[in-house]
Chain A
Amino acid sequence: MNVPDLKALQRGDGDAWEEAWRWLWPAAFGVAQMKLQPFLPGDVEDVAIEALEELVDKVRAVKAVEELKPLVASIAHHRAVSRLREHFAAKRGAGKTASLDALQNDPERPWEPASDELALASLEQMELAALLREAQAELKPEQRAILGDFFLHGLSYEQIAAKHGVAVGTVGVYLKRGLDAMRRLGARHPKLLKELEAFLR
């Protein structure tokens, strides 16, 4: 799959857009699926298409073609979070949106997400896209794999060491460097930092 020509996209070249949609679809769909699959699986494809549509509005502000995937991912993320908020507000029957934070770990609402997605939702789309690019640059693939195994898949140091063929002590070093990178990311985005600090209170 070819990387599309940004200038042609900005000119409105239909063929370039056809290529871009094929290239961007996995990112838009992947993010929408990650957020919506457990609660609104029927909305996944709609949100991905809407994200591609919104990208057309923003393409002239893009400086490099590498920005497109993080941008479409951030658009899909925000649209998915909005849908979830609307969905749960409607489900409560109040007809109003509510902070997903308030829904966190509420035993009376087992069908609502235990939300871990709130800090990023506070960022504007462009800022979130920038943060994703920074994360991709800051974290090496092996770091990301080990962080993912520990924080997302719940593996222990020993299990990760066995999986990746490294010493148990090395796992901790990787995790520490990975979280240091996260701290740097947070520091570059004051709004995000504020959100994270609020979480600690």
Chain B
Amino acid sequence: MNDQSFFDLAMKVIARQSTDAERADLESLVAAQPELKAEWERLQADTRLAKEVLPLTAAAESTAGEFPAYARGRLQTKVRQTLGRPETERKPAAANWWKWVLALATPVALVALLLVPMFSRPGTPVIQVAMLDSAGAIRGADTNETLLLQQQWPETTMQNFEKPGDLDAWEQNWPAGNKPAVKVIYDRAAGEIRVLGRWEGKPLQKTFLVERDLASALRQAEAFIREQGKH
């Protein structure tokens, strides 16, 4: 019996497609020849591996199915916490200005950015506020949330973003000089408010989860910012 014939017989037995006579043939061959016994055992191991690897390989190559939007916020938070913010690419201002013009002209960019000093005394910070709505705005709820943010910081005009990359660029863009500055970011999908900034040369960062309602979380964020001024 040649190699291929032995292999075919072994496959039939492994797949339980053999007759009793074929199984008996295999048993007698294996019993009589130690090298065939070893090969028979190896074929069983190879088969076991094939049965594990083949479905996993097929599943890993699958192209069907759509990423669920609800997972986006959680995953974006993970990216920020693990990898941090991407470094802003330093490009000449002339190359970037038109992007801002386009962004402002776009219907989804709801409001322009304003820099407004929040407190009257010297050394108090510039507050910038933005909302990231990467899942797409749900009208109504979105409007209410915008209103809450504006009520919390009435002298600041809020910036709205749909793309995390646009928000990243905004986060890297700080006012010139050493004046204290704070950015407040409401990430709708992640359900969190991030406060980051610089105050008297020290970095400032804290995240507030929107657990019960947005208004409470915003009050906590504002209290945190005020607290920095007392130190």
A29 close to chain B: CB less than 8 A: yes
* A73 lies within 8 A of chain B by Cβ: yes
Q: Check if A144 sits within 8 Å of B11, measured CB to CB.
A: no
Interface residues of A in 46-75 (CB under 8 A from B): 49, 52-53, 56-57, 59-60, 69-70, 73
A residues less than 8 Å from B48 (CB atoms): 116, 119, 196, 199
Contact B72 A15 (CB under 8 A): no
Determine the distance from Cα of A31 to Cα of B168 in the docked complex, in whole angstroms.
Answer: 33
For this complex, into which size category does the number of interface residues on chain B fall? Answer: 35 or more
Report 14 cross-chain contacts, Cβ distance below 8 Å, ordered by A residue.
A11-B86, A12-B83, A12-B85, A14-B167, A22-B67, A49-B71, A56-B82, A148-B58, A172-B8, A182-B49, A186-B49, A196-B49, A197-B45, A199-B48
Tell me whether B213 is interfacial, beta carbon within 8 Å: no
Count of chain A residues with Cβ under 8 Å from any Cβ of B? 65
- Determine the distance from Cα of A130 to Cα of B44 in the docked complex, in whole angstroms: 23
> B residues bordering A, Cβ < 8 Å?
3-4, 7-8, 11, 15, 17, 41-68, 71-72, 74-76, 78-80, 82-87, 134, 163-165, 167-168
Segment of A90-98, A105-113, A150-158 in the binding face? A150-158
Flag whether A192 is at the interface (Cβ < 8 A).
yes
Whole-angstrom CA separation of A18 from B164 in the bound complex: 9
The residue of chain B having its C-beta at the shortest distance from the C-beta of A58 within the complex is B82
CA distance A8 to B53 in the complex (A): 31
> In the bound complex, do residue A157 and residue B8 qualify as a contact, i.e. CB atoms below 8 Å apart?
yes
| Minimum distance in angstroms from B1 CB to a CB of chain A | 13
B42 contacts A183, C-beta separation under 8 Å: yes
A33 cross-chain contacts in B, Cβ below 8 A = 59
> Are A34 and B75 in contact, with the CB atoms below 8 A?
no
- Do B56 and A10 touch (CB < 8 A)? no
Q: Which of B48, B49, B165 has the most CB of A within 10 A?
A: B49
